[in-house]
């Protein structure tokens, strides 16, 4: 009888051991599934952050919580595994049963975490798919940027070998290289997908600009040479205006009061000095051209043009003043007519407003009419001040235009 009882106990023990081992294997499989899901999702979150750091911030925060839960479940699994050594045969049925229950409990925990991780991965999948689709567009853009940098490099080297100053395109090329190096350093260069795409476009634009500038250097040299010849011709023309300006100044001094020409005094000498400075700048431009220093040549050309423009304007002021004063002297009433028309136009616009002219506008316009009537009084005396007369008329005309502008602005604000 005792032998039969021992056999029954051994049978129940064998069954308990088998059940415990089965539970351990199930826990091991659940742990493997959870570990794989955790590692996979961690990788996806890292990729997400590389592609779009801003959008990945809340994703990272959520995953950190899931990752902690998975780590805790791993610790729980290992603790159960260490606590229940099923390879030892010196265990009672109760111990096998306790081991089975412990492995089943940790299996449930592991499976629950795995399900949560998989659900998180499913929610992340559409956003990842969109980013990865967009990511497919980056390699061809990088290739285009690299090709553009290579083409720009070849163009700059060719220009330098031809003895040309390629410092400007070389600076753009250096910036393009730096951007390309950032993209090629690691991953997306810390720029994110959108930033990397923008950087690739920037590199492409800089490289193309550098190549075009380098290719245009021979044409630029010819253009600057042509401009230099044109500027020298213009300098001769402006210099030729000095004598007519001297004659005009003599007419002003003889025929008009000092106030009519005081601001133009010294104009011939000023024009001559301006032409002299312009020719000095043109000589500098010629020297730079002989050394293929296009940028410096262009700067000198710009300075020369500035001097010639100033001298030309000064000459025009003198000859124009004579013509204007002569016309006014011949018919003092003629300049009044255009001013009178401007004032009347302002009056018509003011009175056409709902309720008639606004008081502030009416006061200004009445004052302008009074000034216009008194303007001819400035022409009294032996030597009338025609220039002061013309300036007063111009001031009245400008003030009338200001009234018109204010009325239209007020009308626009009220609609």
In whole angstroms, give the CA distance from residue 310 to residue 64.
Answer: 71
pLDDT for 243 equals 95
Maximal C-alpha separation, the chain: 159
pLDDT at 268: 95
Specify the range with the lowest mean pLDDT, choosing from 96-105, 143-152, 290-299, 406-415. 406-415
Tell me the average pLDDT across 196-202.
81
Please enumerate in sequence order all residues whose Cβ is within 8 A of that of 315, keeping only pairs 6 or more positions apart, or say none.
238, 241, 242, 244, 245, 267, 271
Q: What is the pLDDT of residues 242-265, one digit of tens each?
A: 999 999 999 999 989 888 999 999
Best mean pLDDT range from 58-67, 87-96, 105-114, 118-127: 105-114
pLDDT band for 7, please (50, 70, 90 cuts).
very low
Residue 135 in this model has a pLDDT that exceeds 90: no
Phi and psi, residue 266, nearest 5°: 80, 10
Residue 301 has pLDDT above 80, yes or no: yes
Q: What is the pLDDT of residues 33-42, one digit of tens each?
A: 989 988 988 8
pLDDT at 18: 85
pLDDT of residue 190 exceeding 50:
yes
Whether 278 shows a pLDDT value over 90: the answer reads yes
Residues 6+ away with beta carbon under 8 Å from 261? 249, 252, 253, 321, 387
Q: How would residue 1 be classed by pLDDT, with cut points 50, 70 and 90?
A: very low
Per the prediction, the chain carries an average pLDDT of 85
Q: How far is CA 320 from the centre of its chain?
A: 45
Q: If pLDDT is split at 50, 70 and 90, which confidence band does 122 have?
A: confident
Structure tokens at 31: 């742990």
């Amino acid at each position: 009888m005792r032998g039969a009882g021992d056999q029954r106990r051994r049978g129940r023990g064998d069954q308990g051991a088998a059940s415990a081992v089965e539970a351990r294997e199930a826990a091991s499989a659940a742990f493997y599934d959870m570990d794989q899901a955790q590692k996979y999702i961690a990788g996806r979150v890292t990729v997400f952050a590389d592609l779009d750091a801003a959008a990945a911030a809340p994703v990272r925060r959520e995953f950190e919580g899931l990752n902690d839960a998975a780590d805790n479940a791993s610790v729980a699994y290992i603790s159960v595994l260490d606590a229940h050594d099923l390879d030892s045969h010196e265990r009672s049925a109760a111990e096998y049963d306790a081991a089975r229950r412990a492995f089943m409990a940790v299996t449930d925990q592991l499976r629950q975490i795995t399900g949560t991780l998989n659900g998180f991965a499913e929610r992340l999948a559409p956003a990842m798919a969109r980013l990865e689709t967009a990511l497919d567009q980056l390699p061809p853009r990088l290739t285009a940027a690299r090709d553009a940098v290579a083409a720009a490099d070849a163009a700059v080297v060719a220009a330098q070998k031809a003895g040309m100053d390629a410092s400007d395109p070389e600076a753009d090329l250096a910036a393009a290289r730096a951007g390309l190096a950032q993209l090629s350093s690691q991953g997306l260069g810390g720029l994110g997908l959108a930033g990397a795409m923008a950087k690739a476009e920037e590199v492409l634009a800089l490289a193309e600009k550098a190549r075009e500038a380098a290719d245009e250097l021979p044409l630029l040299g010819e253009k600057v040479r042509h401009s230099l010849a044109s500027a020298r011709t213009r300098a001769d023309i402006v210099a030729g205006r000095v004598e007519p300006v001297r004659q005009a100044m003599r007419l002003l001094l003889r025929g008009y009061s000092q106030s009519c020409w005081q601001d133009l005094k010294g104009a011939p000498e000023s024009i001559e000095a301006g032409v002299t400075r312009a020719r000095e700048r043109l000589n500098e431009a010629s020297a730079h051209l002989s050394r293929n220093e296009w940028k410096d040549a262009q700067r000198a050309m710009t300075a020369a043009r500035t001097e010639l423009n100033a001298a030309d304007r000064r000459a025009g002021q003198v000859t124009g003043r004579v013509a204007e004063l002569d016309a006014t002297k011949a018919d003092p009433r003629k300049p009044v007519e255009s001013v009178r028309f401007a004032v009347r136009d302002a009056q018509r616009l003011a009175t056409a407003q709902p309720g008639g002219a606004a008081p502030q506008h009416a006061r200004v316009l009445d004052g302008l009419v009074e000034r216009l009537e008194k303007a001819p009084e400035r022409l009294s005396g032996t030597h009338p001040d025609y220039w002061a007369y013309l300036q007063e008329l111009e001031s009245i005309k400008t003030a009338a235009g200001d009234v018109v502008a204010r009325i239209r602005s007020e009308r626009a604000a009220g609609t």
